[in-house]
């Protein structure tokens, strides 16, 4: 896991913008703002990283990200690692951020990874079901009974006022809604469906955390073949305002 994006929610419009990109090479972390940071007059730079057109370099994880890594001293640490499906003693901080989305109750930021081909040129992402807290109780109860490896099916939510490409997840017969694919993957997955066919884009339950907060309740895995010439997150908003190099 070498690249993570930062999404920010505009407090006025409630729209989400991709505003930053964290890269890691062998020795250093590098952060740059992306084109999405210029899409809202309400966006303010993070902390001391106050120049939108600069690249910031550090041999340690920047505070913006480090503050979202749960300390091992916290009593819920082992449970938290289990919810994320990570080894408590041996895991990567970038992977922790990508699994947890860096969620905090005190701000409107989310973090998500740049997908890289795995195995025999496959597209694979792990994510938690979104919006389950807004579903009916019957849907939430059904989510608790999901089994590892159970298939979920994607369906468009065409009249969603916040995301015209929103993708709901449902169970098979009897149908029950299990929340949404994270919004920042909607366009990507629609492109995969167009390239590979809907039957070749598979979503399955990775694990169910019955006692976790609802945002960590259902972890899913989506897999598909990596299409020829496919470039994830190639839209303008994801592009860094300053070139990130390893030099």
Q: Which residue has the tokens 């919004």?
A: 183
Find all residues with CB under 8 Å of 53, minimum gap 6, and list them: 33, 241, 242
The matching CATH number, chosen from 3.30.70.2330, 2.20.25.90, 3.90.1720.10, 3.30.420.40, for 122-225 is: 3.30.70.2330
CA distance 166 to 154: 10
Q: What are the pLDDT digits (tens) for 131-155?
A: 999 999 999 999 999 999 999 999 9
Nearest to residue 184, comparing CAs of 113, 136, 119? 113
Strands 109-113 and 3-9, bridge-based pairing? antiparallel
Cα angle vertex 15, ends 3, 245, to 5°? 25
- Average pLDDT of the chain is 92
Q: What is the pLDDT of residues 192-247, one digit of tens each?
A: 999 999 999 999 999 999 999 999 999 999 999 999 989 999 999 999 999 876 55
Backbone torsions φ then ψ of 125, nearest 5 degrees? -135, 145
Domain ranges of the chain: 3-114+233-238, 122-225
Average pLDDT over residues 93-104: 91
Write out pLDDT tens, residues 30-81: 999 999 999 999 999 998 999 999 999 999 999 999 999 999 999 999 999 9
Q: Is the pTM of this model over 0.85?
A: yes
């Amino acid at each position: 896991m070498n690249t993570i994006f930062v999404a920010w929610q505009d407090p006025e419009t409630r729209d989400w913008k991709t505003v930053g990109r964290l890269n890691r090479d062998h020795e250093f972390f590098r952060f740059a703002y992306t084109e999405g940071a210029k899409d809202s007059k309400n966006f303010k730079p993070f902390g001391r990283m106050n120049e939108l057109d600069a690249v910031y370099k550090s041999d340690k994880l920047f505070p913006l990200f480090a503050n979202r890594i749960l300390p091992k001293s916290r009593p819920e640490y082992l449970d938290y690692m289990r919810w994320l499906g990570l080894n408590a003693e041996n895991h990567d901080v970038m992977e922790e951020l990508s699994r947890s989305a860096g969620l905090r109750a005190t701000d409107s930021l989310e973090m998500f990874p740049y997908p890289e081909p795995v195995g025999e040129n496959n597209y694979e992402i792990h994510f938690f079901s979104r919006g389950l807290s807004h579903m009916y109780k019957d849907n939430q109860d059904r989510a608790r009974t999901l089994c590892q490896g159970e298939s979920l099916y994607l369906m468009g939510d065409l009249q969603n006022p916040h995301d015209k490409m929103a993708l709901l997840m449902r169970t098979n017969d009897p149908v029950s809604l299990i929340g949404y694919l994270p919004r920042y993957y909607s366009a990507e997955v629609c492109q995969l469906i167009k390239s590979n066919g809907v039957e070749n884009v598979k979503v399955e339950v990775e694990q169910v955390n019955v006692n976790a907060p609802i945002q960590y309740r259902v972890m899913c895995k989506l897999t598909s073949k990596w299409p020829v010439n496919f470039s994830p997150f190639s839209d303008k908003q994801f592009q860094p305002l300053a070139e990130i190099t390893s030099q």
